[in-house]
Amino acid sequence: MKRILLGTLFTVVSLNAMAEAPGGPNCGWGNMLFEGQRGTPAHFLASTTNGTSGNATFGMTSGTNGCSTKASLTYGGKSWFAMNGMMNELSEDMAMGKGEALTTYAVVLGVAPEDRTYFESVTHQHFNQIFSSADVTAETVHSNTLAVLKSDPRLAKYATEA
């Protein structure tokens, strides 16, 4: 009874139903700037509980939380899908020309350590081409990046794995 009462009084923050999105249900977190990622609504509850909600996650063979692994592209041993959850961070880092997500992107693409700083400056310069609109999807970002790499003599070798 108490539970019902409290529940009625305080349903202000509730878990919104999640829409299907690329990658599958419950794939990814956070507020997304770019299309193609999940726009997860306020997940107040789960975040205050330290808990898991919805699907208890565990089978993480793909490197993603509940994300579909179909058609995952693998670079340097890492699934491309691992980047899917950091599109916002990646766009910010690339706009500024440095940052953890951009470094991670270089690693995922298999860029050798000695070429990473150069990779960061090239992608920074071609930010407009890689993040071509506010509605760009993760897949488009990926193919745009490969296109940029292809046209750069030093980085072209990292675009061939596609």
**Residues of this chain that bind another protein (CB under 8 A):** 3, 6-7, 10-16, 28-35, 39, 41-54, 56-65, 78, 82, 85-86, 88-89, 91-92, 94-98, 100-101, 103-104, 107-108, 113, 124, 127-128, 131, 133-135
**Distance of closest approach, residue 141 Cβ to another protein, in angstroms:** 13
CA dihedral 110, 132, 71, 116 (to 10 degrees): 10
The smaller minimum CB distance to another protein, of residues 53 and 143, is found at 53
Check residue 36 and report its DSSP letter.
Answer: T
d(CA 106, CA 90): 11
**Distance of closest approach, residue 56 Cβ to another protein, in angstroms:** 5
**Distance of closest approach, residue 162 Cβ to another protein, in angstroms:** 20
The smaller minimum CB distance to another protein, of residues 49 and 153, is found at 49
CB contact at 8 A, 22 and 135: no
The smaller minimum CB distance to another protein, of residues 61 and 153, is found at 61
The smaller minimum CB distance to another protein, of residues 68 and 88, is found at 88
How many CB atoms sit inside 10 A of residue 51's CB?
A: 9
CB contact at 8 A, 74 and 108: no
**Distance of closest approach, residue 150 Cβ to another protein, in angstroms:** 21
d(CA 77, CA 91): 23
